[in-house]
């Protein structure tokens, strides 16, 4: 009880002394919040995209088989499908058609694809990004130049949903016939082959069997894709963090400087406290609560702002970096995702260095001799 | 190397904590050589001021070490998709031989930091710093262990290479890796439970005896240490199974997740608390006869005993409640 | 009673600017009496005050506290005498908080907070309940005719009022000894007289008072019991009044 009262008293004094030095503390808190904000935005964005990717990929086929010639992807012959069907454990096999179409007017690459359940000839479903860049809408005509130079005329039946924009922004779903007409791919070939497997534990064995059967193929297991995406995003966000280490260091030096550079007023105040009966550990405790108040408010403010930034404004501040060359930038809303690991990580990247930077200066300030005010 | 932000955070924190410990050890050495409580010289006054700094540093280290422990487990967990065959954190930790040693060393360092703080608190209650030399000798032993932990952690993370598609020429990464080390501690169910409950009862009894009669401190302290280890083994071997409602999921880390209402936190925190408080009484035992500590140590020890007993009690009640209230029965598997 | 035996205080020992502020002082301060340390500036009286009041540790020598000052002290005590020279800061501060109250030349009130808060500050670290502390502080302030100024900011007080707030602060923990360092330096004659009146009251309450001053209003006052003269860090004379 006594301990609690003591904390209460000291916190009381700490808050009042923070308010008395508003300008200095506000400057520090703004920088602190900014640092947390940037780091948190990067982390939230990366984690949310990873989660999004994993959700999307859940629906993708367990194994995709690509044919490689001289290290490059080549069309897969239809005969492979028959061969793979015969492997024990394979539930279903089908050929998949997809490719890239370069549209010179928009200056963009469209992804043309034939959906699993087929599509009507002459009709296409188009991603929102394409509609925006071609200034087209439902019911309009979209003509694609085929490999012979002729035009394939297609009518836009509908748009792909906004929810799926992250992956469908540049997508055109078309019928098999139209696809083959545009790209000149004969009925003997598919772009790649997808298969569903009954027992997920057999993935490795089946993949090996496919490799044995057709040595010029590369079976890609879905989990490998997930892992690769995870790794890419880990690496990218980590790299950003490392690059920002310079800014982080500047912040730490700033914090250390602020903590060491006590004004004459502050020094006198601590001297008075020591003279009237506060022990060094009491002053250190006060400095601890000071640091906690600043850290806590900046940390929370930074996280809340970052949350808002990433999940409500779709990371507008990062847009230039993320967009890069792409012409078709999807308008997407990420599903808010924040977990304790992210918060702990952010804590270690911001509050920990700040605290460490202020330990020695706080102690030095608190170690003033009690009789200093008398001299 | 996997450049995940959490890994960067762990690196950073370990390096900073190591630096703090080394800094403290430097002054510790100075204190060991030049300390003289009777002197009023400026050096002595300066050294006395330094002790405040070192106490503050070690208090922060204690707190950060605990968070670092949980973040380490979390990081291992969120990296598990990158490794074929890894189902959760336990899988990641077995990817190379540094994973589990780092974890164990982290736990060990946390506990020793706690014990140091107990020693430090007691020392500051006495009017002549009777434990100062032993305290700093202890510190100088802790410091290299913390540095070692930083090193092991680095080796662990640097040795993690995710199983990803790297070049178009390589094919399969799906080598079925052997199942995870969670079968490590599969103590048989009924004997394990008997052992655990017996141990707890003995520890509680010893604690009460120590509290009332003031004797048997070393025994109590030892029992607390053993209860801590037994508690962890029991979680892995059978208690966690009741939370997962799966007879084969011997994972000590999943109970820290949201799905299980973060129940792992209070369980582990109780065990840690019991270990530090209980073994803290043992650390103070050798000094009971020192003149300036004769009155102080029993008081502190009593408080520690209560804290340790409460922690172990809460732990036992929680797991027992779970066993009793869940329809899942382990017997028969 | 406070006994100093061959106390020395040296600053910057071993360095070129080494300075001995107090050079071998042996002194006994009687309780329930008013003692004045008289001497020019630089004579070491301020440093000596700090040593007597357990604010600083002497470089060499011994300080013993006896009688009421040792109440509640459980360490370094033989009978009713406590030796405080080699006590760690924590204990020294505890004794100081409990047994000594300080009044400073510059008042040394913390700006930006109210009078009441200033008076309560010394008791904050003890962990006393807020309400009883507030009541006690209010009572002491009203005894010093400051009830109207409880919530005033200290910047707006007159010199006399500020001095009285300083006195109130010194009294918050009901100390046995009051130590004042040049208390009348910033007061006019009238206020100085009022100050000595308050000192008389404190003595009547059974407190020991030690004042360092070179103001004749203080050391010529009829209420003081003893004058101790200091020069160059050493005692250079003194006399008993009564």
Q: Which two tokens stand for residue C37?
A: 């340390």
A282 to chain C: which residues are within 8 Å by CB? 124-125
- Selecting from C108, C128, C129 the residue whose C-beta is nearest the C-beta of A275 gives C108
CA distance A260 to chain B (A): 15
Q: What interhelical angle do B132-158 and B42-78 show, nearest 10?
A: 30
pLDDT score for C91? 86
pLDDT higher than threshold 70 for residue B185: no
CA distance A108 to chain B (A): 26
pLDDT higher than threshold 60 for residue A221: yes
When pLDDT is cut at 50, 70 and 90, the band that residue B198 belongs to is very high
Q: Which two tokens stand for residue B180?
A: 């995870």
When pLDDT is cut at 50, 70 and 90, the band that residue C240 belongs to is confident
C113 to chain A: which residues are within 8 Å by CB? 16, 20
Nearby residues of A86 by Cβ (< 8 Å), 6 or more positions away: none
A284 to chain B: which residues are within 8 Å by CB? 52, 56
- Selecting from B52, B77, B176 the residue whose C-beta is nearest the C-beta of A281 gives B52
Bridge partners of C237, per DSSP, are C229
B157-195 burial by CB neighbour count: b if 16+ within 10 A, else e? Answer: beebebbbbeeeeebbbbeeeeebbbeebebebeebbee
Question: C90 in contact with B at a CB cutoff of 8 Å?
Answer: yes
| CB pair distance less than 8 Å for B42 and C87 | no
DSSP A179-247: HHHHHT--TTEESEEEEEES-GGGHHHHHHHHHHH-TTEEEEEHHHHHHHHHHHHHHHHHHHHHHTHHH
When pLDDT is cut at 50, 70 and 90, the band that residue A323 belongs to is low
Interface probe for A, chosen from C55, C166, C169 (most Cβ of A below 10 Å), is C55
Distance between CA B329 and CA B246 in Å, rounded?
Answer: 10
Query: What's the mean pLDDT in A206-223?
Result: 88
pLDDT score for A262? 80
pLDDT score for A235? 80
pLDDT higher than threshold 50 for residue B191: yes
pLDDT digits (tens, 9 = 90+) for A223-281: 888 888 888 888 888 888 888 888 888 888 888 888 888 888 888 899 999 999 899 99
- Selecting from B12, B55, B70 the residue whose C-beta is nearest the C-beta of A344 gives B70
When pLDDT is cut at 50, 70 and 90, the band that residue B45 belongs to is confident
When pLDDT is cut at 50, 70 and 90, the band that residue B171 belongs to is very low
Give the range among A76-80, A324-328, C137-141 with minimum mean pLDDT. A324-328
CB A67 within 8 A of CB A74: yes
Q: Which chains form contacts with chain C, at 3 or more CB pairs under 8 Å?
A: A, B
When pLDDT is cut at 50, 70 and 90, the band that residue B295 belongs to is confident
Query: What's the mean pLDDT in C145-172?
Result: 89
pLDDT score for B272? 94
pLDDT score for B97? 86
pLDDT score for C73? 64
Topology of domain A100-184 in CATH is Barwin-like endoglucanases (2.40.40)
H/E element, A172: strand A171-173
pLDDT higher than threshold 70 for residue B36: yes
| CB pair distance less than 8 Å for B174 and A224 | yes
Does the predicted TM-score (pTM) go above 0.90? no
pLDDT score for B221? 92
Q: What is the ipTM of this complex?
A: 0.89
| CB pair distance less than 8 Å for C13 and B45 | no
pLDDT score for B173? 39
pLDDT higher than threshold 80 for residue A86: yes
Cα dihedral A155/A160/A166/A169 (nearest 10): 10
Q: Which two tokens stand for residue A21?
A: 């030095």
Backbone angles phi, psi at B298, to 5 degrees: -55, -40
When pLDDT is cut at 50, 70 and 90, the band that residue B167 belongs to is very low
Nearby residues of A221 by Cβ (< 8 Å), 6 or more positions away: A62, A63, A203, A204, A207, B174
CB C124 within 8 A of CB A283: no
Average pLDDT in chain C:
87
- Selecting from A219, A237, A367 the residue whose C-beta is nearest the C-beta of B5 gives A237
Query: What's the mean pLDDT in B229-255?
Result: 83
CA distance A11 to chain C (A): 10
Query: What's the mean pLDDT in A148-163?
Result: 86
Chain pair A-C, CB pairs under 8 angstroms: 90
pLDDT score for A322? 66
pLDDT higher than threshold 90 for residue A142: no
pLDDT higher than threshold 80 for residue B181: no
Nearest in space to B87 (alpha carbons), one of B234, B244, B192, B238: B244
pLDDT score for B274? 93
DSSP B18-51: HHHHHHHHHHHHHHHHH--TT---HHHHHHHHHH
Give the range among C13-17, C79-83, C201-205 with minimum mean pLDDT. C79-83
pLDDT score for A324? 60
pLDDT score for B28? 92
Q: Which chain A residue has the Cα nearest residue B6? A: A345
> Rounded to whole angstroms, what are the CA distances from A12 to A273, A290, C125, C166?
14, 11, 12, 21
pLDDT higher than threshold 60 for residue B124: yes
Say if strands C100-103 and C177-181 run parallel, antiparallel, or are unpaired. parallel
pLDDT score for B67? 92
Question: B165 in contact with A at a CB cutoff of 8 Å?
Answer: yes
- Please state, as a whole number, how many other Cβ atoms lie within 10 Å of the Cβ of residue C200: 16
pLDDT score for C75? 62
When pLDDT is cut at 50, 70 and 90, the band that residue B169 belongs to is very low
Say if strands A171-173 and A108-113 run parallel, antiparallel, or are unpaired. parallel
Distance between CA A261 and CA A254 in Å, rounded?
Answer: 10
| CB pair distance less than 8 Å for A238 and B7 | yes
Residue A116, Cβ density class (10 Å: 0-12 exposed, 13-18 middle, ≥19 buried): exposed
Domain extents in chain A:
2-56+231-373, 100-184
Question: A186 in contact with C at a CB cutoff of 8 Å?
Answer: no
Q: Which chain A residue has the Cα nearest residue B256? A: A340
CA distance A269 to chain C (A): 6
| CB pair distance less than 8 Å for C46 and A375 | yes
Query: What's the mean pLDDT in A352-365?
Result: 92
pLDDT higher than threshold 90 for residue C169: yes
Distance between CA B50 and CA B48 in Å, rounded?
Answer: 5
B127 to chain C: which residues are within 8 Å by CB? 75-76, 87-88, 91
DSSP A63-93: EEEEEEETTEEEPEETHHHHHHHTSTTEEEE
Domains and CATH numbers, chain C: 2-236 (3.40.50.300)
H/E element, C201: helix C189-204
Q: Which chain B residue has the Cα nearest residue C51? A: B40
Share of chain C above pLDDT 90, in %: 26
pLDDT score for C214? 85
Distance between CA B143 and CA B124 in Å, rounded?
Answer: 21
CA distance B108 to chain A (A): 20
Chain centre to alpha carbon of residue C236: 22
pLDDT digits (tens, 9 = 90+) for B204-218: 999 999 999 888 889
Give the range among A8-12, B197-201, B248-252, C87-91 with minimum mean pLDDT. B248-252
pLDDT score for B267? 92
* Residue B168: strand, helix, or coil: coil
When pLDDT is cut at 50, 70 and 90, the band that residue C101 belongs to is very high
| CB pair distance less than 8 Å for B4 and A360 | no
Share of chain B above pLDDT 90, in %: 52
Distance between CA A272 and CA C104 in Å, rounded?
Answer: 10
When pLDDT is cut at 50, 70 and 90, the band that residue B29 belongs to is very high
- A110 in the Ramachandran plot: left (φ > 0), alpha (ψ -120 to 50) or beta? beta
End-to-end CA distance of chain B: 41
Nearby residues of A186 by Cβ (< 8 Å), 6 or more positions away: A180
CA distance B131 to chain C (A): 13
Say if strands C34-38 and C226-231 run parallel, antiparallel, or are unpaired. parallel
pLDDT digits (tens, 9 = 90+) for A327-356: 666 776 777 878 888 899 999 999 999 999
């Amino acid at each position: 009880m006594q301990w609690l009262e003591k904390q209460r008293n000291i916190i009381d004094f700490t808050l009042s002394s923070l308010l008395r030095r508003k300008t200095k503390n506000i400057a520090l808190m703004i920088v602190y919040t900014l640092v947390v904000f940037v780091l948190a935005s990067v982390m939230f964005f990366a984690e949310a995209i990873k989660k999004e990717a994993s959700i999307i990929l859940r629906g993708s086929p367990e194994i995709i088989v690509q044919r490689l010639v001289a290290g490059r992807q080549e069309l897969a012959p239809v005969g492979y499908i028959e061969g793979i069907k015969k492997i024990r454990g394979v539930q279903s096999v089908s050929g998949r058609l997809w490719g890239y179409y370069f549209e010179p007017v928009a200056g963009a690459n469209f992804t043309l694809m034939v959906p699993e359940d087929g599509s009507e000839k002459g009709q296409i479903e188009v991603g929102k990004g394409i509609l925006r860049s071609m200034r087209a809408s439902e019911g309009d005509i979209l003509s694609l130049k085929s490999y012979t130079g002729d035009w394939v005329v297609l009518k836009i039946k509908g748009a792909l949903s906004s929810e799926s924009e992250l992956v469908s922004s540049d997508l055109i779903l078309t019928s098999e016939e139209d696809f083959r007409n545009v790209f000149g791919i004969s009925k003997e070939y598919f772009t790649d082959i997808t298969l569903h497997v009954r027992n997920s534990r057999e993935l490795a064995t089946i993949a090996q069997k496919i490799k044995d059967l057709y040595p010029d193929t590369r079976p890609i297991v879905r989990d490998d894709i997930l892992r690769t995406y995870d790794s890419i995003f880990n690496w990218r966000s980590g790299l950003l963090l490392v690059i920002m280490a310079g800014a982080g260091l500047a912040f730490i030096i700033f914090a250390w400087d602020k903590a060491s550079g006590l004004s004459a007023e502050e020094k006198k105040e601590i001297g008075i406290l020591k003279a009237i009966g506060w022990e060094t550990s009491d002053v250190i405790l006060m400095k601890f609560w000071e640091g906690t108040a600043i850290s806590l408010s900046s940390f929370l403010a930074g996280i809340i702002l970052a949350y808002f930034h990433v999940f409500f404004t779709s990371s507008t501040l990062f847009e230039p970096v993320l967009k890069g060359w792409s012409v078709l930038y999807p308008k997407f809303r990420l599903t808010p995702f924040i977990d304790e690991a992210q918060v702990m990580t952010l804590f270690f990247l911001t509050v920990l260095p700040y605290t460490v930077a202020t330990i020695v200066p706080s102690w030095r300030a608190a170690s003033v001799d009690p009789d200093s005010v008398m001299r | 190397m996997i450049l995940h932000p959490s890994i960067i955070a762990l690196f950073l924190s370990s390096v900073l904590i190591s630096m703090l410990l080394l800094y403290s050890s430097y002054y510790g050495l100075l204190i060991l050589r030049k300390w003289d409580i009777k002197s009023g010289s400026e050096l002595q006054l300066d050294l006395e001021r330094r002790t405040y700094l070192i106490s503050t540093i070690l208090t922060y280290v204690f707190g950060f070490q605990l968070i670092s422990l949980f973040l380490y487990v979390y990081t291992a967990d969120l990296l598990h998709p990158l490794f074929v065959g890894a189902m959760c954190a336990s899988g990641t930790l077995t990817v190379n031989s540094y994973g589990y040693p780092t974890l164990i060393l982290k736990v060990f360092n946390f506990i020793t930091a706690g014990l140091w703080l107990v020693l430090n608190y007691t020392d500051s209650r006495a009017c002549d710093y009777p434990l100062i030399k032993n305290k700093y000798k202890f510190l100088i032993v802790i410091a290299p262990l913390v540095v070692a932990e930083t090193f092991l952690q680095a080796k662990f993370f640097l040795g993690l290479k995710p199983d990803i598609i790297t070049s178009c020429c390589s094919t399969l990464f799906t080598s079925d890796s052997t199942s995870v080390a969670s079968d490590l501690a599969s103590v048989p169910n009924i004997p394990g439970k008997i052992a655990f409950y017996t141990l707890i009862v003995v520890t509680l009894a010893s604690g009460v005896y120590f509290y009332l009669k003031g004797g048997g401190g070393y025994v109590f302290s030892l029992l607390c240490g053993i209860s801590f280890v037994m508690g962890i083994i029991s979680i892995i071997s059978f208690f966690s199974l009741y939370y997962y409602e799966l007879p084969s999921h011997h994972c000590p880390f999943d109970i820290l997740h949201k799905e299980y209402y973060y129940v792992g936190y209070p369980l582990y925190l109780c065990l840690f608390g019991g270990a530090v408080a209980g073994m803290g009484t043992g650390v103070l035992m050798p000094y009971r006869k020192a003149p300036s500590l004769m009155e102080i140590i029993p008081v502190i020890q009593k408080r520690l005993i209560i804290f340790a007993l409460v922690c172990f009690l809460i732990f036992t009640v929680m797991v027992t409640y779970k066993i009793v209230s869940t329809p899942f029965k382990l017997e028969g598997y | 009673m406070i006994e100093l035996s061959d106390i020395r205080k040296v600053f910057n020992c071993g360095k070129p600017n080494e300075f001995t502020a107090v050079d071998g002082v042996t002194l006994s301060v009687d309780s329930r009496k008013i003692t004045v340390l008289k001497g020019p500036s630089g004579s070491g009286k301020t440093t000596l005050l700090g040593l007597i009041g357990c604010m600083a540790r002497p470089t060499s020598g011994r300080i013993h506290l006896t009688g009421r000052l040792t109440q509640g002290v459980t360490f370094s005590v033989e009978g009713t005498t406590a030796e405080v020279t080699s006590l760690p800061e924590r204990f020294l501060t505890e004794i100081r908080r409990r047994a000594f109250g300080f009044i400073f030349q510059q008042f040394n009130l913390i700006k930006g907070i109210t009078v009441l808060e200033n008076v309560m500050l010394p008791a904050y670290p003890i962990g006393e309940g807020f309400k009883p502390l507030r009541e006690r502080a209010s009572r002491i302030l009203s005894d010093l005719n400051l009830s109207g100024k409880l919530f005033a900011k200290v910047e707006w007080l007159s010199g006399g009022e500020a001095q009285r707030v300083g006195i109130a602060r010194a009294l918050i923990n009901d100390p046995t000894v009051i130590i004042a360092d040049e208390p009348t330096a910033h007061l006019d004659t009238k206020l100085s007289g009022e100050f000595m009146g308050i000192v008389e009251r404190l003595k009547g309450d059974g407190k020991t008072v030690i004042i360092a001053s070179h103001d004749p209003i203080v050391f010529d006052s009829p209420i003081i019991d003893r004058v101790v003269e200091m020069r160059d860090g050493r005692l250079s004379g003194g006399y008993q009044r009564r």
